[in-house]
């Protein structure tokens, strides 16, 4: 079977039902994969784009928690595939198809949709998280999976040994067979020949379809299981089947004009989310969004170009080392090392520094924002200062231990009560 045919016989399932509670109020009204990222995208655009660019065009997006904005985004921005070519991106909401329970874990989410999966006749299944930011050619991982004769392949990324206690860690032999799995270990196993790094699971799996379906049925009957791929099924498979580690570096998209080291971010915390956005303000970001050979797609709307107003001594509309999206107006203010999402307005005499301003926000005059994440549709009152007084920030907004302050419209309205 050639690789193109194998991709056509692969069903990609994106797990997009989680809340992402560690992102605090950013996920009060939206699922984590629907959180805006990188100026104009949503997090789910990255795995969806990877699928399309990899030639995998049979995709199911499994949704559950507060999925309206996610459903709307996928329907409006990802409806271009050809059904007559057996291509599709379908939304599969939790429907309690196997009983009265909602999705109880990542494995259970797939299990509850076995009827639809079996009807599609796939030979391979690609299981993805819908809340990571990265670029990967899944077809290269599939090629390695088929050639190795594996039942399961797990995408892994090298992490410094001192950070390994934050991940599920794979112990592999010289041939990349997984011989042990430990969830957030205190004393993690290191890579063969390199004692400074460990192999962390990325939550990306390729299964032979029949093998996975059989094991999902068995897992569903196990009352002691939490029905999760990382916690239950992957550890269970070790020593019982052929399970291989796929190095993320083997499927990174090559680009001679922009050499890239493997970039993958789990933006599951407020700090990680802020850092992932800040990465894009660097002179040469680690994640290249300007590569026309591997476009990151999203829903497109008609918006005017960004605009910069005034050129007086104390009133100059300017942005430095920043990403400014369509529809923005920087009016007599300074934006520095920040990201402005679509349709943001920053009014005169304000200074926005190292901040992430989500769509449709309005920053009033004489404001100063430093290391702030401002949620969508916020109206920051004139003269507001955030990021200079930790005690004041904690009393009014949400401020984490890393000094990142999150502001929502509800928090702003509560100031007047």
- pLDDT tens profile 98-115: 555 677 889 999 999 999
CA of residue 364 relative to chain centroid, distance = 31
User: Is 70 exceeded by the pLDDT of residue 97?
Assistant: no
Mean local confidence (pLDDT), 230-250: 94
Could you give the angle at the alpha carbon of 304 between the alpha carbons of 300 and 305, nearest 5°? 100
User: Is 70 exceeded by the pLDDT of residue 145?
Assistant: yes
Mean local confidence (pLDDT), 212-218: 96
Mean local confidence (pLDDT), 177-200: 89
Alpha-carbon distance of 31 to 69, in angstroms, equals: 8
Which residues are annotated as part of the binding site? Answer: 103, 168, 183-184, 201
45-59, 62-76, 92-106, 290-304: least confident range: 92-106
Which pLDDT score, from 0 to 100, does residue 82 have? 86
Which pLDDT score, from 0 to 100, does residue 98 have? 58
Beta strand pairing call for 405-407 and 372-374: parallel
Q: How distant, in Å, are the alpha carbons of 171, 307, 326, 343, 346 from that of 304? A: 51, 9, 6, 9, 16
Find out if CATH 3.90.550.10 is the number for domain 3-279: yes
265 within 8 A of 133, measured Cβ to Cβ: yes
DSSP conformation letters of 201-248? EEEEEEEEHHHHHHHHHHHHT-TT----IIIIIHHHHTTTS-EEEEEG
What is the three-class DSSP state of 166? helix
Task: List Cβ neighbours of 119 (8 Å cut-off, separation of 6 or more).
Answer: none
Question: Percentage of residues in the chain with pLDDT exceeding 70?
Answer: 97
Average pLDDT, the chain: 93
Mean local confidence (pLDDT), 276-281: 96
Tokens coding 336: 């520095």
Segments making up each domain of the chain, as ranges: 3-279, 307-414
Which pLDDT score, from 0 to 100, does residue 188 have? 87
- Intrachain domains 3-279 and 307-414 with the same fold: no
Tokens coding 391: 């005690």
What's the pTM value of the predicted model, to 2 decimals? Answer: 0.95
Which pLDDT score, from 0 to 100, does residue 259 have? 59
56 within 8 A of 41, measured Cβ to Cβ: no
Grade residue 88 by pLDDT with cuts at 50, 70 and 90: very high
Q: How distant, in Å, are the alpha carbons of 161, 191, 259, 351, 404 from that of 197? A: 5, 6, 22, 41, 29
Alpha-carbon distance of 2 to 5, in angstroms, equals: 5
CA of residue 409 relative to chain centroid, distance = 24
CA pseudo-torsion sign 236, 59, 137, 278 = negative
Which residues are annotated as part of the binding site for alpha-D-glucose 1-phosphate? Answer: 103, 168, 183-184, 201
Could you give the angle at the alpha carbon of 264 between the alpha carbons of 378 and 370, nearest 5°? 35
User: Is 80 exceeded by the pLDDT of residue 398?
Assistant: yes
Tokens coding 335: 């934006």
Query: Which of the pair, 95 or 174, is modelled with greater confidence?
Result: 174
Could you give the angle at the alpha carbon of 205 between the alpha carbons of 62 and 231, nearest 5°? 80
Grade residue 245 by pLDDT with cuts at 50, 70 and 90: very high
CATH architecture of residue range(s) 307-414: 3 Solenoid (2.160)
Mean local confidence (pLDDT), 316-326: 97
């Amino acid at each position: 079977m050639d690789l193109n045919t194998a991709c056509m016989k692969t069903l990609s399932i994106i797990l997009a039902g989680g809340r992402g509670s560690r992102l605090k109020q950013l996920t009060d009204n939206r699922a984590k994969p629907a959180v805006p990222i990188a100026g104009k995208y949503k997090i789910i655009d990255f795995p969806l784009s990877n699928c399309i660019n990899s030639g995998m065009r049979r995709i199911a997006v499994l949704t559950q928690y507060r999925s309206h904005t996610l459903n709307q985004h996928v329907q409006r921005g990802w409806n271009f595939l050809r059904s007559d070519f057996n291509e599709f991106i379908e939304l599969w909401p939790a429907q309690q198809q196997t009983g009265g329970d909602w999705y109880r874990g990542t494995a259970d989410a797939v299990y509850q949709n076995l009827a639809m999966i079996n009807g599609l006749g796939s030979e391979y299944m690609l299981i993805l998280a819908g809340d990571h930011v990265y670029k990967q050619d899944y077809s290269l991982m599939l090629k390695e999976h088929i050639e190795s004769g594996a039942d399961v392949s797990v995408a892994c990324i090298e992490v410094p040994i001192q950070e390994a206690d934050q991940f599920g860690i794979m112990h592999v032999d010289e041939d990349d067979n997984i011989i042990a799995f430990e969830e957030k270990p205190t004393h993690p196993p290191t890579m063969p020949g390199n004692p400074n790094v460990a192999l962390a699971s990325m939550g990306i799996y390729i299964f032979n379809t029949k093998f996975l379906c059989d094991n999902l049925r068995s897992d569903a009957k196990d009352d002691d299981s939490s029905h999760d791929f990382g916690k239950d099924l992957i550890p269970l498979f070790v020593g019982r089947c052929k399970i291989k580690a796929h190095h993320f570096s083997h499927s990174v998209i090559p680009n001679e004009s922009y050499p890239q080291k493997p970039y993958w971010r789990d933006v599951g915390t407020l700090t990680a989310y802020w850092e992932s956005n800040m990465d894009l303000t660097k002179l040469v970001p680690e994640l290249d969004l300007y590569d026309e050979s591997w476009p990151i797609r999203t829903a497109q709307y008609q918006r005017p170009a960004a605009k910069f107003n005034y050129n007086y001594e104390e009133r100059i509309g300017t942005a430095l080392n920043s990403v400014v999206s369509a529809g923005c107006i920087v009016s007599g203010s300074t934006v520095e090392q920040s990201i402005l999402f679509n349709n943001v307005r920053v009014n005169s005499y304000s200074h926005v520094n190292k901040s992430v301003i989500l769509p449709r926000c309005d920053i009033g005059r004489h404001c100063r924002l430093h290391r702030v994440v401002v949620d969508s549709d916020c109206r920051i009152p004139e003269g507001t200062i955030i990021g200079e007084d930790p005690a004041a920030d904690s009393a009014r907004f949400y401020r984490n231990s890393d000094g990142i302050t999150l502001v929502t419209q509800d928090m702003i309205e509560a100031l007047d009560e």
